């Protein structure tokens, strides 16, 4: 199985686990000497989009051979902290920065949505191939109300399925995580007890859970679920698909049990409205697969020199045009063309 690890530009794939639009470049033309110099952009943050950013880092060099993208997948919380500290050229997060965090960035920051996707509920139960979890059951498990696999609620969701009478081993993130925020944001939106007990958070306390395993990043959770019988966790869909981990069907707002997929994520995100700051929270979508979210690049408004500013604009312009063609290949949703135009207008007119 595959684990996507980092650093991109020297990206590693471990053997353990694993709308495009034509946009005229508005940014300033650099001198010939600047264009011939290799520019390196160092970023860090969310593991949710790491497989996508790995491809971006490789493919962008076909158009900009002197542009190198390095990205360390350390989790959304780490990405936000490094952007605030000014130790990276850009960050990545699936939990959009709060107003308080934005105010701490001395050079200003722009949130650039690059993709959306599903968070899969993954499990390891030999012999159980099509586990279903209702809107009542899933929050009850992750708030500690349901502790065993043969609980009456799980059995009611899965009539005729032979479920073991063993404890559920909940696998959660050890780090501050945008994937965790997407997951807990959904559970908080559909269940008042979970909202009060755990809440929407990048690093919740998981009050009530007594049998917990913690993995670092999406790869760490995927690894733990893959090798731990009786476990239940959550990872970005591409990590589950690439590693052949069983995924539960989750009940959506319409009462349908839906497995994670690109089509399901697209259906859920189709009606999302982007405000002027492009910060969106998707709690309980009306259609499709219900546990979905967006991921953002966090870029500065002011860079130390013109060459660095030009490089970041090249990266963002490419990612939101040519790069969007890659999203479908890796089961990420694309950013709508009208939103792309709005984002690029802000980036190209603001970043200096």
Q: How confident is the model at residue 31 (pLDDT cuts 50, 70, 90)?
A: very low
* Cα-Cα-Cα-Cα dihedral sign, residues 101, 102, 107, 109: positive
Task: Write out pLDDT tens, residues 198-211.
Answer: 999 999 999 999 99
The DSSP symbol for 346 reads H
Assigned domain for 189 exists: yes
**166 pLDDT more than 90:** yes
**Do residues 30 and 102 both lie within one domain?**
yes
Q: Which domain holds residue 23?
A: 3-117+292-350
**Do residues 154 and 218 both lie within one domain?**
yes
Assigned domain for 283 exists: no
Assigned domain for 267 exists: no
**Do residues 103 and 124 both lie within one domain?**
no
pLDDT of residue 213: 98
**Do residues 123 and 112 both lie within one domain?**
no
Task: Write out pLDDT tens, residues 109-137.
Answer: 999 999 999 999 999 999 999 999 999 99
Contact in structure between 225 and 233 (CB atoms under 8 Å): yes
Task: Write out pLDDT tens, residues 245-270.
Answer: 999 999 999 999 999 999 999 999 99
Assigned domain for 152 exists: yes
Q: Considering 245, 261, 277, which residue would you say is the last residue of a domain?
A: 261
**Do residues 142 and 178 both lie within one domain?**
yes
CATH number for the domain including 185? 3.40.190.10
Assigned domain for 178 exists: yes
**Do residues 168 and 242 both lie within one domain?**
yes
**64 pLDDT more than 50:** yes
Contact in structure between 73 and 45 (CB atoms under 8 Å): yes
Report the percentage of the chain scoring pLDDT > 70: 90
**Do residues 129 and 241 both lie within one domain?**
yes
What CA–CA distance (Å, rounded) separates 91 from 71?
Answer: 8
**Do residues 47 and 34 both lie within one domain?**
yes
**Do residues 153 and 108 both lie within one domain?**
no
**24 pLDDT more than 90:** no
Assigned domain for 95 exists: yes
Q: Give the chain's domain count.
A: 2
Assigned domain for 272 exists: no
pLDDT of residue 23: 39
Mean residue pLDDT of the chain comes to 91
Give start and end residues of each alpha helix (H) in the chain. 32-36, 50-63, 76-85, 99-103, 137-142, 152-157, 178-190, 192-197, 217-227, 237-242, 262-269, 306-319, 324-327, 337-350
**Do residues 78 and 131 both lie within one domain?**
no
**Do residues 42 and 106 both lie within one domain?**
yes
**Do residues 124 and 251 both lie within one domain?**
yes
């Amino acid at each position: 199985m595959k684990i996507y690890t980092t650093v991109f530009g020297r990206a590693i794939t471990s053997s353990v686990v694993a709308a495009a639009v034509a946009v005229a470049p508005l940014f300033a033309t650099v001198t010939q000497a600047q264009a011939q110099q290799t520019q390196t952009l160092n970023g860090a943050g969310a593991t949710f989009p790491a497989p996508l950013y790995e491809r971006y880092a490789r493919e962008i060099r076909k158009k900009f051979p002197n542009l190198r993208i390095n990205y360390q997948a350390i989790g959304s919380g780490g990405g936000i902290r490094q952007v605030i500290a000014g130790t990276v050229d850009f960050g990545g997060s699936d939990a959009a920065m709060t107003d308080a965090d934005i105010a701490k960035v001395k050079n200003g920051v722009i949130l650039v949505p690059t993709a959306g996707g599903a968070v899969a509920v993954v499990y390891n139960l030999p012999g159980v191939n099509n586990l279903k979890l209702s809107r009542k059951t899933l929050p009850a498990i992750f708030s500690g109300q349901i502790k065993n696999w043969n609980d009456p609620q799980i059995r009611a969701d899965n009539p005729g399925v032979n479920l073991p009478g063993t404890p559920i081993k909940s696998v959660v993130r050890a780090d501050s995580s945008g994937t965790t925020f997407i997951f807990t944001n959904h559970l908080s939106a559909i269940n008042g007890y979970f909202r009060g007990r755990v809440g929407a958070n990048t690093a919740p306390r998981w009050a009530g859970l007594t049998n917990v395993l913690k993995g670092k990043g999406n790869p760490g959770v995927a690894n733990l679920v893959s090798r731990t019988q009786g476990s239940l966790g959550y990872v970005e869909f591409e990590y589950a698909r690439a590693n052949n981990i069983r995924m539960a069907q989750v009940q959506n707002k319409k009462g349908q049990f839906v497995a994670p997929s690109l089509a399901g994520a697209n259906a859920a995100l189709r009606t999302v409205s982007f405000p002027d700051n492009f910060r969106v929270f998707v709690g309980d979508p009306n259609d499709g697969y219900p546990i979905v979210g967006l991921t953002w690049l966090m870029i500065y408004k002011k860079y130390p020199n013109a060459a660095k500013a030009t490089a970041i604009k090249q990266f963002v312009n490419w990612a939101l045009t040519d790069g969007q063609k890659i999203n479908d290949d890796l089961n990420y949703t694309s950013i709508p063309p009208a939103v792309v135009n709005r984002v690029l207008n802000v980036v190209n007119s603001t970043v200096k």
